Structure 1
Amino acid sequence: MPLPPPLDLVCHPAAPDPCVRRIGVTVAREADGGLDVRYGLEGALDGLRLPAGGLPVERLWAHTCFELFVLAEGGEAYREFNFSPGGQWMCFDFSAYRARIDSPAMPAPQLDWQRSGDALTLALTLPASALPAGALRLGITAVVEHADGSHRYWALGHPPGKPDFHHRDGFALALPATTP
């Protein structure tokens, strides 16, 4: 299935990003309900901390990573996925805003990280079994850690105030249910 044109993430206005020019994302729903997602970061990669692996999986979000928040349309519960350039990934489940619950075991997503010149890309596929059925709302985000240890927060949309990827207003992309 061809991917739609990319959506541009925006850096949180409280801290502009001097290293990253752009983060674009494409999302396509597969016929079976899975998701194909492509992230593309362009900028001065040498000014960023790009984990090479070995990070504690529970804290991937504390370093450079791409994130995807998935909510069933009209629901309260949501799932957070973190994908590190080191190849690691993690999933967290929440029953409501920041109310973490145990996550069931799930199959590993297919991840393909590439770095070339001033670009870092991730192509990933999430199986339908890792997602709620029906229409979805997605929060598409990125945490960018700079060489000096500072962080920048990118998202399709930011609610007012400090960066908060869990806020319902950040689930900015609506995807219809798949049809059999």
Structure 2
Amino acid sequence: MRASLVKHPQSHCAAVSSVNVDVDRLSLTSLMLRFAASGAIGDIAIPPPAPPGRRDGLWRRTCFEAFFRGKGEDSYCEFNFSPSTEWAAYRFARYREGMAELENVERIAVERGVEPGCLVVAARLDLARMGQAADEGLLCALSAIIEEKSGSKSYWALAHPAGKPDFHHIDCFKLEIARNTAS
């Protein structure tokens, strides 16, 4: 399924005209995310390739994010994917509380592609390692932080709560990934 992200109303972004995410549930425990930012890609501050691995603070630069929560659960997981191919994975006990590194995630394969007019970052996730009730269906929030070479940042999400950008907010969890389905 394809989801389109919307720019936060207080964000300005001359470089990117759209951000779309393809979400494919490959199996009960496997999910593929493909983020595509379209526009004047040469104006985006794209982190250079780095050895794949876990790194904190990716959200400070151009980064793509996915949040997952089981239906009816307060706890949720956050994943950050950088065009550098670095990644981060966290677990929260409830809204912005009890943050901890998500254990059991040793590696996430992140791929990057830069084409004329399009920056693509793709990641394959093992849902079983999240500790979420993947078989009962998941609620998902998808987001992007786009940093332009000018230093300006824009914030993109499926939906935005009132006020400043807040990708953790319950109002952002707009995509339902049904149980026991694969595309």
Q: Answer whether TM exceeds 0.5 for this pair.
A: yes
Task: Give the partner amino acid of 1:86.
Answer: S
The correspondence for 1:57, drawn from 55, 58, 74, is 55
The 2-side partners of 1:179 and 1:146 are apart by 37
Match of 2:87 in 1: 89
Taking structure 1 as reference, are residues 46 and 92 closer, same or farther at Cα in structure 2, changes over 3 Å only? Answer: same
Q: Report the number of matched residues.
A: 176
The 2-side partners of 1:114 and 1:141 are apart by 18
Cα deviation per residue 1:140-160 (whole Å; 9 max; x = unaligned)? 000001112121000011011
The correspondence for 1:41, drawn from 37, 44, 66, is 37
Larger deviation: 68-77 or 52-61? 52-61
Report the secondary structure of 2:56's partner residue. Answer: helix
Report the secondary structure of 2:45's partner residue. Answer: coil
The 2-side partners of 1:160 and 1:43 are apart by 27
* Unmatched tracts of structure 2, length 5 or more: none
Match of 1:75 in 2: 73
Which structure 2 residues correspond to residues 85-124 of structure 1 after superposition, within 5 A? 85-99=83-97, 100-124=99-123
Deviation at 1:12, TM superposition (A): 0.3
The correspondence for 2:175, drawn from 156, 173, 176, is 173
Match of 2:152 in 1: 150
Task: Give the partner amino acid of 2:12.
Answer: P
The 2-side partners of 1:179 and 1:116 are apart by 31
Percent of matched pairs sharing the same residue = 33
Report the secondary structure of 2:146's partner residue. Answer: strand
Indicate yes or no: 2:142 matched with 1:140.
Answer: yes
Indicate yes or no: 2:64 matched with 1:66.
Answer: yes
* Unmatched tracts of structure 1, length 5 or more: none
The 2-side partners of 1:123 and 1:179 are apart by 20
The 1-side partners of 2:61 and 2:79 are apart by 14
Deviation at 1:38, TM superposition (A): 1.1
Kindly report the root-mean-square deviation, in angstroms, between the aligned alpha carbons of the 2 structures. 1.9
